[in-house]
Amino acid sequence: MSKLRGARRSWGLVAGVLLAIGLLVGLGTTALISDVHAADSAKAVHSADRLALQQTLGGLGGQYLSLTLAELYSEGESNTWALTPGSPADHRLLATYVGTSPLTNAGAAILTLSGQPLNATTAPGTELPPQSDPGFAPLRAALAAGKPGLSSLLHAGDQLLVGMAVPITANGKPVAVLVGYANARTWALQQYVQGLHVADGADNYVVDTNGTIVAGPSAARVGQKIPGMKGAPGGTAPALFHVGDATLSSAPVGVGGWDSLTSQPTALYDGQAASGAARAHMLLLAALLLGVAAMIAAGAIRQKALHRAADQALSDALTGLPTRRLLDARLQASLARATRTGTSVVVVYGDLDGFKAVNDAYGHRRGDALLKEVARRLELAVRAEDLVVRLGGDEFVILAEGVTGMEQVQELTDRIVESIAEPVRLDRAVVSVGISLGAVITRRGTPSVLLEAADAAMYDAKKSGRGPVIRPLGVLDRLGEARLPDGAAGLRAT
């Protein structure tokens, strides 16, 4: 079923791309027909060309924003969210999304339906705007109306951001809100608008509901107003008007109440009326815009595919915990930091006691539910910065770094044992399992040696049945030159 849902989402993205390209072709065709029928008046033709072109520009801007919202919606629907304050699993999902999204890569957050923050992450050097920012007003209004939300320009320190929001649903009902943020000075919409050339002396803009520039001829213009304009055009159709000594054309973007505008000195605008050059510009630009739209869509689909592939490689399909592949990378980095800081790395190897009996008695479905609950309890029992990994079956590994003494290890293993020992309700049945733990603490070594030593300590704990076995690595600190022999001296937790 998950493959079928993934295929449906992929086809949904492809269908959205085809719809965007079809819309642009239709807009270009409409512009060309308008040009032919207005041939009796050079100025009327020029004005019709400019309005049709502006409608095309507005349509492309709307498609870009729609693609961004579609990516955000796919992210919200394709993941299993804990939706608890500060959840490490949710934070990892948000960080992966921000690190791979080509569209909203400034930050992301999860909020309750009442607007209370549950989790958030940002790109390096970025901070998120406060919820009191008035730019959130149109976003909240759209969500309240059951639509995806788009903010006006938001302020976070000296940064200017744009927020986009979609609901996270469960059983068809909204349960939380996923918000993605883009840096208005560097996002793809700014790069696209900055690269446009409509006519001599013309500047192109996208403005929010307040008439504030969210994309313009240069990044320095973002956050300002168009000279002479006091607010946004606010119309529902393309329009042509004059502001001071400039002629402006506007068209609604179709998302969030934003508008696309082109400003040109009136003398230059009127001088082009009889030349017919605007027609050539429009047709050439329409062709270029089709290519840009296809490239943006293809890039978004490719990034989504890479994101899913990375998730499958680094996340356990049943519990959502990281896998051995991520553990090896994190453990190598942790050992390097321990050498620099003089602190220690702890590897805890755990194997459930009594899981096979529960699985045999109640079936694999309830056994899987038990493993999910164990994974959840392990993540709650450790610190937010610790890593919980499922190796397979009922075996788990916890990686903790920055440890300064054996007491911390003892406290960690005690919390894990107490948490797992609590009874678990599986439908109408209540079951209990335990966990045998073996831990090693060291400052040097290799991932394979540490895991082997922790596994050996866990095996001794399971045989003795007297609680976790914690060992400070001795000779094994020297990069695995020796292996712990059977019965090697260790510190047994009581």
Range of the domain at 412: 324-492
Q: How far is CA 385 from CA 82, 287, 399, 446, in A?
A: 17, 50, 9, 21
| Paired tokens of 155 | 């302020």
Letter for the amino acid at 172?
G
In a domain, 423, yes or no: yes
What is the structure's pLDDT at 270? 77
187 within domain boundaries: no
Q: Is the pLDDT of residue 36 over 80?
A: no
Q: How far is CA 143 from the centre of its chain?
A: 19
Cβ-based neighbour number of residue 351 at 10 Å: 20
- Closest by CA to 47, choosing from 244, 206, 249, 245, is 249
Q: Assess if residue 367 is contained within a domain.
A: yes
Q: How far apart are CA 83 and CA 427, in angstroms?
A: 22
Q: Residue 146: inside a domain, yes or no?
A: no
pLDDT at 20: 55
**pLDDT category, 405, cuts 50, 70, 90?**
confident
Categorize the per-residue pLDDT at 222 as very low, low, confident or very high, splitting at 50, 70 and 90.
very high
Q: What pTM does this model have?
A: 0.51
Beta strands (DSSP E) in 299-420 are 344-353, 387-392, 395-403
Span 401-417, mean pLDDT?
91
Whole-angstrom Cα distance, residue 374 to residue 433?
Answer: 10
From the list 382, 432, 434, the residue with the least C-alpha distance to 411 is 382
Q: What is the pLDDT of residues 224-273, one digit of tens each?
A: 998 888 878 877 889 988 888 899 999 998 888 899 999 999 888 877 65
Beta strands in 296-394 (DSSP E): 344-353, 387-392
Residue 347: inside a domain, yes or no? yes
pLDDT band at residue 27 under the 50/70/90 scheme: low
- DSSP 8-class letter at 398: E
CB 125 within 8 A of CB 203: no
How far is residue 409's CA from residue 492's CA, in Å, rounded to a whole number?
Answer: 12
Residue type, 71: E
Which residue, 248, 264, 253, is CA-closest to 215? 253
Average pLDDT across the chain, whole number: 81
SS3 434: strand
Which two three-digit tokens encode residue 478? 């020297």
End-to-end CA distance of the chain: 46
Residue 210's Cβ-count burial label (10 Å; 0-12, 13-18, 19+) is: middle
Strands 154-156 and 159-170, bridge-based pairing: antiparallel
Q: Which two tokens stand for residue 5?
A: 């849902």
**Residue 477's domain is classified under what CATH number?**
3.30.70.270
Provide the token pair at 245: 């000594």
Bridge partners of 121, per DSSP, are 108
Q: For residue range 90-118, what is the model confidence (pLDDT) as tens digits?
A: 898 888 888 888 878 899 999 998 889 99
pLDDT band per the 50, 70, 90 thresholds, residue 56: confident
Q: What is the pLDDT of residue 218?
A: 92
C-alpha 308/C-alpha 303 separation (Å) is 9
Closest by CA position to 143, among listed 165, 118, 125: 165
The reply to whether 65 falls in a domain is no
Average pLDDT over residues 39-47: 69
If you search the block for the tokens 């020029």, which residue do you land on?
Answer: 46
The residues assigned a catalytic role are 394
3-class state of residue 441 by DSSP: strand
Query: In this structure, what are the phi and psi dihedrals at residue 489, rounded to the nearest 5 degrees?
Result: -65, 140
User: How large is the average pLDDT for residues 485-493?
Assistant: 36
More confident residue, 296 or 246: 246
Contact 282, 46 (CB under 8 A): no
CB 310 within 8 A of CB 326: no
Q: Are 399 and 347 in contact (CB under 8 A)?
A: yes
pLDDT, tens digit, for every residue of 149-170? 999 999 998 899 999 999 999 8
Q: What is the pLDDT of residue 258?
A: 93
- Read off the pLDDT of residues 170-202 as tens digits, 9 standing for 90 and up: 888 899 999 999 999 988 888 888 888 888 889
Beta strand 246-252 with 239-243 is antiparallel
Residue 316 has a CB neighbour count (10 Å cut-off) of 17
DSSP 149-177: EE---EEETTEEEEEEEEEEEETTEEEEE
Q: What three-state secondary structure class fits 472?
A: strand
Residues 45 and 35 sit within 8 Å (Cβ to Cβ)? yes
Coil/strand/helix, residue 315: strand
**Helical packing angle, 364-381 and 406-421, nearest 10°:** 150
Q: Is residue 287 over pLDDT 70?
A: no
CA–CA separation, 202 and 262 (whole Å): 7
Residue 491 has pLDDT above 50, yes or no: no
Minimum mean pLDDT range among 17-21, 43-47, 324-328, 390-394: 17-21
What pLDDT sits at residue 352?
95
* Residue 341 domain flag: yes
Specify if 372 maps to a domain: yes
Identify which of 8-17, 35-44, 443-452 has the greatest average pLDDT.
443-452
Q: Is 364 in a helix, a strand, or coil?
A: helix
Average pLDDT over residues 476-494: 37
In the 8-state DSSP scheme, what is residue 483? -
**What is the C-alpha separation between 323 and 150, in angstroms, rounded?**
36
pLDDT at 89: 87
| Beta pairing partners, 205 | 261
- Taking only the tens place, the pLDDT of each residue in 310-348 is 444 578 889 999 988 889 888 988 888 888 888 899 999
Contact by Cβ (8 Å): 419, 434: no
Three-state SS at 344: strand
Q: How many domains is the chain built from?
A: 1
Distance CA 182, CA 256 (A): 15
